[in-house]
């Protein structure tokens, strides 16, 4: 077989493998499903604050509360440690906004 033809065929096959692999990665999404039945998993960066949650609700930060007790009551009324979309309990100890009076 002609060496130039052989190199061209190898290049075409390698290119096809790269394209197919990229397509599989992008279309499969890593095999995860978009089900709302999974438990809440924190995906935000605790060093950033968000202005709105995915639900459209305004994000609450510790500065939105006057006391730790108010923040704790809000936290527990909105899911507590099992669901903390406002990321008030950044150290995951169950107590929020510990720097507030």
Per-residue pLDDT of the chain (101 residues; tens, 9 = 90+): 777 877 777 878 777 667 766 666 666 554 444 545 445 455 555 555 556 667 777 888 898 999 999 999 999 998 888 888 888 998 889 999 999 99
The alpha carbon of residue 80 and the mean position of all alpha carbons in its chain are separated, in whole angstroms, by 19
Whole-model pTM: value is 0.48
Tell me the three state secondary structure of residue 58.
Answer: strand
Residue 38 CB-density burial (10 A; 0-12 exposed, 13-18 middle, 19+ buried): exposed
Q: Quick one: how far is CA 65 from the chain centroid?
A: 26
């Amino acid at each position: 077989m002609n060496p130039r033809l052989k190199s061209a065929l190898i290049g075409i096959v390698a290119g096809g493998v790269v394209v197919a692999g990229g397509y599989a990665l992008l279309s499969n999404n890593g095999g995860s499903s978009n089900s709302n039945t999974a438990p809440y998993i924190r995906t935000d960066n605790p060093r950033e604050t968000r202005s709105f949650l995915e639900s459209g609700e305004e994000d609450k930060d510790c500065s939105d509360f006057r006391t730790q007790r108010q923040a704790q009551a809000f936290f527990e009324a909105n899911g507590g440690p099992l669901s903390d979309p406002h990321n008030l309990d950044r150290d995951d100890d169950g107590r929020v906004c510990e720097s507030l009076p």
